[in-house]
Amino acid sequence: MNSQLRREYLDALGLKTWTLRTAHGTADAPSLVMASRATSAAPAPSAPASALAAAVPAPARDVSAMREAGLDWDELRARVAACTRCSLSATRTQTVFGVGNPHADWLIVGEAPGAEEDRRGEPFVGRAGQLLNSMLHAIGLAREQVYIANVLKCRPPGNRDPNLTEAAECLPYLERQIALLKPKIMLAVGRIAAQNLLRTDKTLGALRQQVHRFGLSDVPLVVTYHPAYLLRTPTEKRKAWDDLKFARDVASRV
């Protein structure tokens, strides 16, 4: 991507001042990752994803994760489409499986589908999706180069936070997607996604700028803000930019 085009993408993000600098003060290329839904923005009390570990004993989680073992992409997609494991199956328009390159190095994971995603069957569409695309472009990645999924495959009514049962029932699908994808890095986008993936109740601020590891696959995982939150709180874009650079550096070392 030429510098003019990248500058245009950064301008679209309102990131004119977001310029990576080397020790010599010269511009450098940025880096990044992402995950799904129009998340609840600011740290509001959420489904204590953290409590997932306590609510679902480890042996039960292991058994649950094995339910999808051996499924290929098509089989997994069909199983998700027919899923009735939690009550969200009664209110969804359709499941939102995930989208992107099945050989991607980057896996972006959000919380759950919002209204537009539920209607279209694709994660990260609408304004938040456009911002995500711009962020990806800013670091030289096209949407088609990454894989984008959510912790939940069905929309919680009213965009409420996922509850513990929903997250516990749905996470095995994402775990199977990760097993098939074998990404080099995961980017958890937003507090709810991060807390569910890492089984913690720590704040997003406490989880940023660290390399976490996801599950048995031990994939490096970096946490950042959800683009929907950044749309509402543009003053946090600089922190998100720092997270993207951090994630890119992590991926370059894998």
Cα–Cα distances (Å) from 54 to 49, 59, 60, 164, in that order, read: 10, 12, 11, 10
What whole-number distance in Å separates Cα of residue 119 and Cα of residue 62? 32
76 binds ligand SF4 (CB under 6 A): no
* Closest approach of ligand SF4 to the CB of residue 36, in Å: 13
Counting contacts by CB under 6 A, is residue 95 touching ligand SF4?
yes
- Contacting range for ligand SF4; rule: CB under 6 A; set: 3-11, 34-42, 85-93, 113-121: 85-93
Conformational region of residue 135, where left means phi above 0, alpha means psi within -120 to 50, and beta covers everything else: alpha
Report the nearest approach of ligand SF4 to the CB of residue 152 (Å).
5
Q: Output the smallest distance, CB 162 to ligand SF4, in A.
A: 8
Q: What order of strands is seen across the sheet that includes strand 99-100? A: 99-100, 147-150, 106-110, 185-189, 219-224, 212-214
Residue 89 vs 93, nearer CB to ligand SF4: 89
| Angle value at C-alpha 246, between 161 and 190, nearest 5 degrees | 5
Judged by CB, which is closer to ligand SF4: 40, or 95? 95
Looking at the Cβ atoms of 133 and 163, the one nearer to ligand SF4 is: 163
The amino acid occupying position 105 is: D
Residues 146-175 that bind ligand SF4 (CB under 6 A): 152-154, 166, 169-170
Binding mask 111-130 for ligand SF4 (x = CB under 6 A): --------------------
In angstroms, give the least distance from the CB of 175 to ligand SF4: 12
Nearer residue to ligand SF4 within complex by CB, 169 or 175 = 169
Q: Which is nearer to ligand SF4, 166 or 243 (CB)?
A: 166
Q: Do the Cβ atoms of 173 and 76 come closer than 8 Å?
A: yes
The C-alpha atoms of residue 222 and residue 127 are separated, in whole angstroms, by: 23
Which of residues 77 and 239 has its CB atom nearest to ligand SF4 in the complex?
A: 77
Residue selected from 88, 186, 192, 221 as contacting ligand SF4 according to rule CB under 6 A: 88
CA dihedral 47, 51, 52, 57 (to 10 degrees): -160
Using alpha carbons, select from 194, 180, 184, 181 the residue that is nearest to residue 248: 184
Q: Which residues pair with 147 in a beta bridge?
A: 100, 107
Interacting residue ranges for ligand SF4, rule: CB under 6 A: 80, 83-86, 88-89, 95, 152-154, 166, 169-170
